[in-house]
A and B are shown apart, each in its own frame.
Chain A
């Protein structure tokens, strides 16, 4: 049984449609990345999953139950790190961690101590005295120290320094080894690349693409830099060729830079080989490119 199944989810606030027929599936035991531009509906989806907002249409199943009706029982089995952590000004970090753990039904004390040390968190400071990153650490420790099946993390490491980011990635990897399911909403692509098994990309309230990174990579383009004796005519209009740039010193060889779609790679290489190919460099699609193309409105 999947940890999270969402079909056709729609939610509007007044006149604005925040979620538009959104589908999402997170299998048990996987780390699922949830990406999208700002304002695309990621946090709204998470709030619907947590039973904080009601869906206008569509079905949502969380750990086999209905998050709106069975929130209290289901929440014992999950831990949530909000995108914008606000702590109670007068409570210390340690008190918040303990409180959240008790509200969930239990905290692993050894793990709590271990995490506090690894994240270099001072649990005696009051909520008001914490910097943004430290507030996030409090929420992270509270979530990871609990004994739950599902972790829902909404931009959990956006305020952490690179050292702590590395710690965070280690911790998530450990959770995964334990068999926990993680829904991770993030803008940090390196983190997504390192941690996630599968990824869903949201734009304007709708999931535009979903799959493993390998699958998604196949749909993108390879960057080629080729030095050829003569520019093959009509290369710019060849199927599957994008953004062709030609640099040529008079009389000398031409340097071509172009992006080629994966399915046309073979054909383009044949064309280049027939044009006096002197050198060829190919670069696999970068993750940025992959996501940026999805983030922007399709032409």
Chain B
């Protein structure tokens, strides 16, 4: 063969990328719309709510002081730089969580179109056509990157629109915020591209990337909340986004960091891809036992077996999270040392600036935050039940003497139980570390544990929504995630934004008594438990009536 003929015969590594990209876009249009709509809603609503929340400079100063001194908020949302303008407030409130949302969207997109395709065997079908080795990964990352870019544009435009009534729109600030959000998403596009090459299943790839996301997010908050550790913020992509300081300084040069990190990650991903076989990961699969352990004798045991790695991982993460939060408690009083004006403002406005009260506020917020995150794990476990059904693994189980109720319980009730377990682990770690690092007499382990216990019925209600959907209306299961997100936003931001009580009451966590400051009120807890039980019962009734679905 002549040189030119050989060159023509060698398939290009990226052949078919365009087709794959179009195919993937067609499948994911709605998903992107949903994620981006949520992110835009968070940003625009913050901007629009500004004038209601901060009507005058005095309120602004007071609220700035109270937010800055609430360490729980700092851990979750990062340092308060300035709340004087709507843009700065929007940044503080929405940058962190919007970046998380866009990053999750990017991770899921990349993994869905690379690892998950290989798992299902579709990739094999595609690769047998004229498609280059790197086409699938390139198409997936291009798609995720485009979605991040779309999020940037959408956020920018929505903020500009929200600022129109005020007069001069701040294009630089809006663009900086949008770019910070999108750039963080790009970083996790790269991370997911790498994790999709490791591990043997898409669940592993998602879990690895998600774990890195969670660790870097917590790291950012912890660095901001612990005096002397501010440099840690620079280790996290979320820290990079924050350090762009949208609306305040718009430091565009900081964006070089996420872009560089993304580039490095993508190069690594393609290098690994070039070396591995389709369908396998770098981490291989070990052979298993020839017989089953005696305990593997029921759907409960099966559900535990399938989920135990996930539960172990989440428990470890929660223990770490609880310990980190607990370690910050002691330094709450130091806030005033770093910012003396804060104490004065708080005293002037009548809310007590005493360190003990601030500590109590913090200690009261942490169980709520931990409980909210625990609901994510619970809902995730319930959703595994749907995956099992759609992939045809529920059918053989239900063809044995397993009842539908037992099957639903093995996923639904298991979700409630493991969410509770994981949350308990985090609370125990938090309580122990707090008491160990603070002065004796601040709070006891028992009181903290009770403060944690009262959140549990609210967790059950949120996970219960997922159970009733799996049982009665599985087509609507994605709504469970919407419920989690809305509960999150309402609980964390609702009170701060002065939302009407009717809206706040939608979140079950609003009804949980503030045990540390107000004491125990049993009635709301009983009501929440009854609601959760009713949701479960409806789910069980529904699962006995519906047809089993496949694919």
Contact = CB atoms under 8 A, between A and B. Distances in A.
B288 A103 contact: no
B391 interface: yes
A72 to B, nearest CB: 5
A88 B393 contact: yes
Contact of A53 (B201, B391, B547): B547
A188 interface: no
A50 interface: yes
B28 interface: no
B291 interface: yes
Contact of B401 (A52, A75, A129): A75
A194 B5 CA distance: 55
Interface centre among A50, A73, A152 (most CB of B within 10 A): A50
Nearest to B296: A99
A59 to B, nearest CB: 18
B397 interface: yes
Contacts of B30: none
A51 B547 CA distance: 9
Contacts of A123: 290-291
B288 A104 contact: no
A50 B392 contact: no
B302 interface: yes
Interface in A39-58: 47, 50-54
A98 B297 CA distance: 8
B296 A102 contact: yes
Contacts of B200: 89, 128
Nearest to B391: A86
B401 A124 contact: no
B201 A89 contact: yes
Contacts of A72: 401-403
Nearest to A129: B285
A80 B402 CA distance: 13
B288 A94 contact: yes
Interface centre among A72, A105, A126 (most CB of B within 10 A): A72
A102 B397 CA distance: 11
A98 B288 CA distance: 13
A71 interface: yes
B289 interface: yes
B396 interface: yes
| Majority-rule SS of B interface residues | loop
Interface in B283-315: 285-293, 296-299, 302, 305-306
Contact of A95 (B286, B289, B545): B289
Interface in A119-145: 123-126, 128-129, 139
A235 B297 CA distance: 69
Interface residues of A, number: 41
A98 B399 contact: no
A92 B392 contact: no
B356 interface: no
A95 B299 contact: no
Contact of B292 (A53, A87, A99, A105): A99
A143 to B, nearest CB: 10
A91 interface: yes
B395 interface: yes
B489 interface: no
A299 B401 CA distance: 45
B548 interface: yes
A100 interface: yes
Contacts of A105: 401
Contacts of B288: 90-92, 94-95, 124-126
B408 to A, nearest CB: 14
B398 interface: yes
Contacts of B547: 52-54
A82 interface: yes
A139 B290 contact: no
Interface string B377-415: 000000000000001110111111111100000000000
Contacts of A86: 391-393
B392 A84 contact: yes
A252 B316 CA distance: 93
A76 interface: yes
21 contacts: A50-B395, A50-B399, A52-B398, A73-B401, A75-B399, A75-B401, A76-B400, A80-B399, A86-B392, A90-B288, A91-B288, A92-B287, A92-B288, A94-B291, A98-B296, A99-B296, A99-B297, A104-B400, A124-B287, A125-B288, A139-B396
* CB-CB nearest 5 A-B residue pairs: A92-B288, A98-B292, A103-B400, A95-B292, A80-B399
Given A91-B288, A99-B302, A128-B285, 4 more contacts: A82-B396, A92-B287, A92-B289, A95-B292
